[in-house]
Structure 1
Amino acid sequence: MQRKAFKMYLLPGNSVEYKKRHDEIWPELAELLHQVGIQNYSIFLDESTRTLFGYLEAPDISTLDSLPAQEVMKRWWAYMADIMETNADHSPVAIDLTPVFYLA
């Protein structure tokens, strides 16, 4: 299993809305994420900096490269664009984090 960690940024005053939207994640989006092999996907929020920390596992992280082309992913990004920092295509500004320690 390969692991991936990244950070994103929430816009001020949107922590409750961000959680609400993820509590109501669209079934078709959850299905897509499972189809590409994503498991153990968690997002944590540091409210003092509005930094979102994401962590996921997948058998092959390269399968995530197919997500930006999927319509449901594009719709989700557009839906989330008003509450977080995004790129021009509405994808979240996501910064990969470098693994430095792992204890199995």
Structure 2
Amino acid sequence: MKRLAFKMYLSEGQKEEYQKRHNEIWPELKTLLKEAGVSEYSIFLDEETNTLFAFQKVSGDDGSQNLGQSEIVQRWWKYMSDIMQTNDDNSPVSVELPEVFYME
């Protein structure tokens, strides 16, 4: 099992809307993530900086950030683009974080 972490950036004042949209995550997106090997996915918010910290456990080499060619993911990115920083293709601006410590 591989662990992945990355950060993204939420727009000011969008915490509640971000939570609402993720609480109502589309079933087909959840299925796609699980089929891609994502078994755990958590997102945390640093409210001082509006930085989102995401953590995933995946059973392959790729996580959710590698599913951008999927029509479902592209629709999700567009849906989320009004409340977070995005690239020109609506993908979230994200920075992969290297693991520097792990304790079992």
Q: TM-score range by the shorter chain?
A: over 0.9
| More helix per residue | 1
- Give 1:36-75 correspondences, 5 Å limit: 36-62=36-62, 64=64, 66-75=66-75
- Give 1:15-30 correspondences, 5 Å limit: 15-30=15-30
* TM-score normalised by the chain length of structure 1: 0.95
Secondary structure of the residue aligned to 1:57 is strand
How big is the shift at 1:62? 2.8
How big is the shift at 1:91? 0.3
Q: Which runs of 5+ in 2 are unaligned?
A: none
Q: How many residues align?
A: 104
What stretches of structure 1 move > 6 A for 4+ residues in a row?
none
2:4/2:63 contact within 8 Å kept: no
Structure 2 residue identity aligned to 1:38: V
Q: CA RMSD in A?
A: 1.2
Secondary structure of the residue aligned to 1:40 is strand
Structure 2 residue identity aligned to 1:96: E
* TM-score normalised by the chain length of structure 2: 0.95
Q: Which runs of 5+ in 1 are unaligned?
A: none
How big is the shift at 1:63? 6.0
Aligned to 1:84: 84
Structure 1 residue identity aligned to 2:59: P
